[in-house]
Amino acid sequence: MVKKMIVLGLDGMTFKLLDPLVEQGYLPNIAQLMNKGVTGVLRSTLPPNTAAAWTTFQLGVNPNRHGIFDFMRYRGNLESLNVVDSGDIKYKTFYETLNSKYKCVLINLPLSEPPKIKGTVMPSFISKTNAKIYPKSLEKKLDIKEFEVFIPHFKRVTNILNEAIKFLDKRKKEIDKVFDMDWDFYFELFSITDWVQHLYFPTILKNKKAIKIYQRVDEIIGEYMKKAGEDTTILIMSDHGFKKYKNIFYLNRWLKQEGYLQSKEKSLDDYRSDIKLLNFLSKHKFTKEVSKFLFKVLPLAPEVRLRAESKLSPGIDVENSRAFCPNGEVSGIFINDKRFTSLVKDTDRKKIISEITAKLKQLPYIKNITVNEPKDNVPDILLEVDDYKIYENISSRVTEELPINYHDRNGIFIACGPRIKNSAIRLENLNIADLAPTILHMFGFRLSNSDGRILKEIFK
Ligand SMILES: [Zn+2]
């Protein structure tokens, strides 16, 4: 059994970026872990969405079972959106099991708040509260003053890389106080890698300022390695990989063309609900900062044009649509059954699903189709699409050539520690759902009913 374990998340990290950065000597500490231990391509969830993947990490269960497909959750109708939190997790997390015997620390893990454990939790970037740390008594005890969950004060595009370094350093001061406490299991997620990649992915290796951010993260990892010592097992992982998509697939436009979806000009009520939604979003730290981020930092990026277009394009006429995609992030189609307005009767569900899937199979860019049982917040038809990023806009065409930096399913995994084997072969067939059973196994627990497996091939 392991004595101590550190799991560090590098959001959105891919070997396409990590390998050249290591080869060029920018990341000496990560290089050391890779040389001493094992590496592997870690397959992400479908869809490779941050909230979906980090939930699967915590549970060892795939999104079609846990029902988290995005940071937002639909309740009954498309207007009542909520930012997800730990209350939406219906399965037991691996750290709840660990915490029965071991001291756990979780920093910046999406959906870990309100905390389900007695250990130490620092909120994630989707926090809905102003809490800095749990249990709250630690705020005074450790003198935690400045703990930001998101980069504050985005002003200009040129500024963001400098701001990102300041953000990392400021957080580190507070996080170090937690790292220096007594713990057995320590988790910390670095979101900054994903944020930088959304902005600069194809050109990062030519951007010295952007590389600095990866170097800073590597330095922090180096400090952790030194402090924790050789007895500690270290896992480095990402929730998904990253790539440049060449095209957009407007799924709702396709549904409309095939006769399943009706669009409507937005009525005053829709704008009211938009305003209601904006008011709601602006109350939450995460969404507030994200909207600032989108509108101030990315004024020239295609994402912004698509977002703006989605606001201006006609809405989905839910009452008259048999199928729709509420949000491209979920990468799938919902059937308008009793979960929405009951336009499709239970007896017709199967027929309409097989009709739609048969038509989708004709599209050359559809790689895989999964059909799910009717469940709250779970798309009935889940799509894996090659080289096309799905958007919900009811655009004037079904596809468009437009480059977008976005997640893909091939993430990273690095493990190093007393029980971990030393191998230069890069492993394949690792899945993010395997992490929970593997971590629990290393601490002497078993996880039943998981979609993942124990990664036996990483051990000596
Ligand atoms: Zn992510």
Report the C-alpha gap between 243 and 284 in whole angstroms: 29
Q: What's the count of helices (H) and strands (E) in the chain, helices before strands? A: 15, 19
Please give the distance, rounded to the nearest whole angstrom, from the Cα atom of residue 411 to the centre of ligand 1. Answer: 10
CB 110 within 8 A of CB 54: yes
Distance set, CA 444 to CA 3, 455, 459 (Å):
11, 14, 14
The two three-digit tokens of residue 137, written as one number: 């008594």
Backbone angles phi, psi at 208, to 5 degrees: -60, -40
Please give the distance, rounded to the nearest whole angstrom, from the Cα atom of residue 348 to the centre of ligand 1. Answer: 37
CB atoms within 10 A of CB 251: 28
- Could you tell me where the DSSP H helices lie in 361-434? none
Please give the distance, rounded to the nearest whole angstrom, from the Cα atom of residue 230 to the centre of ligand 1. Answer: 29
Please give the distance, rounded to the nearest whole angstrom, from the Cα atom of residue 77 to the centre of ligand 1. Answer: 26
Please give the distance, rounded to the nearest whole angstrom, from the Cα atom of residue 12 to the centre of ligand 1. Answer: 5
Report which of 453, 310, 333, 449 is spatially closest to residue 382, judged by C-alpha positions.
Answer: 333
Residue with tokens 């196994």: 441
The pLDDT of residue 293: 52
Question: In order of start, what are the domains of the chain with their CATH numbers?
Answer: 4-240+409-458 (3.40.720.10), 244-406 (no CATH)
Distance set, CA 242 to CA 307, 329, 386, 388 (Å):
20, 15, 13, 13
Please give the distance, rounded to the nearest whole angstrom, from the Cα atom of residue 341 to the centre of ligand 1. Answer: 33
Report the C-alpha gap between 39 and 427 in whole angstroms: 6
The pLDDT of residue 298: 42
Residue with tokens 């703006």: 308
pTM over 0.95: no
Helix (H) or strand (E) segment spanning residue 335:
strand 332-335
Please give the distance, rounded to the nearest whole angstrom, from the Cα atom of residue 203 to the centre of ligand 1. Answer: 19
The helix/strand/coil state of 128 is coil
Please give the distance, rounded to the nearest whole angstrom, from the Cα atom of residue 307 to the centre of ligand 1. Answer: 19
Report the C-alpha gap between 113 and 129 in whole angstroms: 9
CB 107 within 8 A of CB 183: no
Please give the distance, rounded to the nearest whole angstrom, from the Cα atom of residue 264 to the centre of ligand 1. Answer: 33
Residues of the chain with pLDDT under 50: 155, 157, 294-300
The two three-digit tokens of residue 331, written as one number: 């990468």
CB 314 within 8 A of CB 320: no
**Ligand 1 ion: nearby residues, β-carbon < 5 Å:** 11-12, 50, 194, 239
The two three-digit tokens of residue 161, written as one number: 């890389």
Backbone angles phi, psi at 334, to 5 degrees: -100, 140
Please give the distance, rounded to the nearest whole angstrom, from the Cα atom of residue 191 to the centre of ligand 1. Answer: 7
Please give the distance, rounded to the nearest whole angstrom, from the Cα atom of residue 407 to the centre of ligand 1. Answer: 7
Please give the distance, rounded to the nearest whole angstrom, from the Cα atom of residue 256 to the centre of ligand 1. Answer: 31
Report the C-alpha gap between 52 and 54 in whole angstroms: 6
CB 427 within 8 A of CB 258: no
The pLDDT of residue 2: 83
The pLDDT of residue 296: 46
Please give the distance, rounded to the nearest whole angstrom, from the Cα atom of residue 410 to the centre of ligand 1. Answer: 12
Please give the distance, rounded to the nearest whole angstrom, from the Cα atom of residue 48 to the centre of ligand 1. Answer: 8
Please give the distance, rounded to the nearest whole angstrom, from the Cα atom of residue 258 to the centre of ligand 1. Answer: 33
Please give the distance, rounded to the nearest whole angstrom, from the Cα atom of residue 201 to the centre of ligand 1. Answer: 14
Report the C-alpha gap between 55 and 66 in whole angstroms: 8
Report the C-alpha gap between 189 and 384 in whole angstroms: 26
Please give the distance, rounded to the nearest whole angstrom, from the Cα atom of residue 67 to the centre of ligand 1. Answer: 17
Q: Which residues contact 199 (CB under 8 A, 6 or more apart)?
A: 160, 297, 298, 301, 405
Please give the distance, rounded to the nearest whole angstrom, from the Cα atom of residue 259 to the centre of ligand 1. Answer: 34
Report which of 5, 3, 458, 2 is spatially closest to residue 225, judged by C-alpha positions.
Answer: 5
Please give the distance, rounded to the nearest whole angstrom, from the Cα atom of residue 11 to the centre of ligand 1. Answer: 5
Please give the distance, rounded to the nearest whole angstrom, from the Cα atom of residue 54 to the centre of ligand 1. Answer: 8
